[in-house]
Amino acid sequence: MKTRSLITAAAGAVFLLSAAGSAFAQGAPQTLASLDVKAVATGYRSSKIVGSAVRNDADQRIGKINDVIIGRNDRALVAVVSVGGFLGVGNKLVAVPYDQLRPTPDNKGFVLAGASKDALKSLPAFSYAK
């Protein structure tokens, strides 16, 4: 009786493993690229970028980074900047290519060269997809 139970259990396990394997074996095999983790660790964390001040060349505060978005197809990195308003009321969200932002010398904010509050306000309003 024990032998029959063991055979039944083994057959069940083989069936489950073969069924599970076929469910996960879809598409082409994927390979993972290794990264230089030391180099990546010196980068900027999104949690530290969001909320950072955006300044212009004259060191005037012209906005604040509200969000960072990675495009789906082109992988473009975009900073959503909040401009105008007071304490979050009456502000406008605009999208700025992330590569136009440069970190401040103290790494506590970003510089958007040649920008002003008025220039940011003149950009089309950004709204999140629903």
Mean pLDDT of the region 96-103: 95
Phi-psi region of 80 (alpha: psi -120 to 50; beta: other; left: phi over 0): beta
Q: What CATH number was assigned to the domain covering residues 45-121?
A: 2.30.30.240
Going from N- to C-terminal start, the domains of the chain cover 45-121
Q: Convert the pLDDT of each residue in 28-52 to its tens digit.
A: 777 888 888 888 888 888 899 999 9
> What does the pLDDT read at residue 7?
52
pTM value is 0.69
Per cent of the chain over pLDDT 70 is 77
